Amino acid sequence: MTISANIIGASGYTGGDLLRILVTHPEVEVKAATSERFAGEPVKKIHPNLRSFVDYNFVSVKEIKEADVVFLCVPHGMAAPYVEQYMDSGTKIVDLSADFRLHNPADYPKWYGHEHPKPELLKKFVYGLPELHREQIKKSNYVACPGCLSTTSILSLAPLAKEKLLDPNGIVIDAKIGSSGGGAAFDISTHHPERVGVVRSYKPTGHRHTGEIEQELGELQGAKFGVAFSPHAVELVRGILATCHVRLNKQVKEVDIWKIYRSFYKDSPFVRIVKEKEGHYRYPEPKLLAGTNFFDVGFELDSHVNRLVVMGAIDNLVKGSGGQAVQNMNLMFGLDEKTGMWRPGLHPI
């Protein structure tokens, strides 16, 4: 099988990493990588890591021809017009933006500050977290990939939600994220002198990804969630670590938590439980995940204050965007979800 793919927004960070994965994917041929700013210029000028793999130029979105799948790697609010254009054309759509992640149209004004332009299309999209919705994704032509912080947070807590163990108002998530999470567009807050060395709290309340986290945990547990989510910008380029402090609504032993996580993720090749007794890397560490599609999760019970601490880590540009998009595409086309991505990370790095 050869799957033809177009990438809209290929000059950005998610589009670039998606392209990095697709150029060695055994079943995919990239037909077009778009950029309006760099149309006609070599892709390797913007993504120099792709030298020897990509010898074509960016094209304008107006020039692209039909393909089996289109990836939308565009800013929030820019994907909806493309979805309207491609829907029902026979092209499968994998959207990396936030435009189709929330099921309830009322959640868009709440978390994004505007009405959804096409609320009737929301129900056509599956939330593209394979570990939760694998069977739906396989049958779907339209997948909305989760946010990177949401991916880390939801996967950290999903097994507990499935067991209805979470106190829906007893969750505090403290997340750290690297600078690539903000995309390639210039912003003074991500300019090197302003960004280097920071441990910056940038959205201690009201972060948009909270809506997705509450949606997915709520559906799993069958309850309405109020999650306290606070992200921080830290001295990393790639990577997220989410430390989730949760209250459980019944007493459990460590052995039970092991069983719950092992059982929930038994068919999820990209999930690893990391909880070692010895060594430098006893818990999930984003540094070890750079360039990979793995989600690592670990936990510790704190009987002193009746708390469970769950740590989840990913590379935001792979499992948090481009890799997850390919994992979804693999499922949508009946391939093994690992195809093109089954490789370890670097150590040391």
Site for ligand NAP in 64-123 (CB under 6 A): 73-76, 78, 96-98
* CA–CA distance, 25 with 29 (Å, rounded to integer): 8
* CA–CA distance, 344 with 315 (Å, rounded to integer): 13
Regarding 8 and contact with ligand NAP (CB under 6 A), the answer is yes
Residue 148 designated active-site: yes
Q: Which two tokens stand for residue 14?
A: 């998610």
Q: Which is nearer to ligand NAP, 11 or 140 (CB)?
A: 11
Q: Which is nearer to ligand NAP, 14 or 210 (CB)?
A: 14
Regarding 124 and contact with ligand NAP (CB under 6 A), the answer is no
Q: Which is nearer to ligand NAP, 170 or 181 (CB)?
A: 181
335 neighbors 176 (Cβ within 8 angstroms): no
* CA–CA distance, 69 with 37 (Å, rounded to integer): 23
337 beta partners: none
83 neighbors 35 (Cβ within 8 angstroms): no
**Helix, strand or coil for residue 227?**
coil
Regarding 14 and contact with ligand NAP (CB under 6 A), the answer is yes
**Helix, strand or coil for residue 257?**
helix
Regarding 316 and contact with ligand NAP (CB under 6 A), the answer is yes
* Helix (H) / strand (E) containing 247: strand 240-248
Regarding 11 and contact with ligand NAP (CB under 6 A), the answer is yes
CB of 163 to ligand NAP, least distance (A): 28
Position among 181, 231, 284, 298 found at the interface with ligand NAP (CB under 6 A): 181
156 neighbors 312 (Cβ within 8 angstroms): yes
Q: Which two tokens stand for residue 20?
A: 């990095």
* CA–CA distance, 21 with 328 (Å, rounded to integer): 13
CB-closest chain residue to ligand NAP: 12
**Helix, strand or coil for residue 288?**
helix
Q: Which two tokens stand for residue 155?
A: 């996967």
Site string for ligand NAP, 15-54 (x = CB under 6 A): x-------------------xxxx----------------
Regarding 284 and contact with ligand NAP (CB under 6 A), the answer is no
Site string for ligand NAP, 137-176 (x = CB under 6 A): ----------xx----------------------------
CB of 292 to ligand NAP, least distance (A): 15
What amino acid positions are annotated as catalytic residues? Answer: 148
Residues in contact with ligand NAP by CB under 6 A are 8-15, 35-38, 61, 73-76, 78, 96-98, 147-148, 180-181, 183-185, 316-317, 320-321
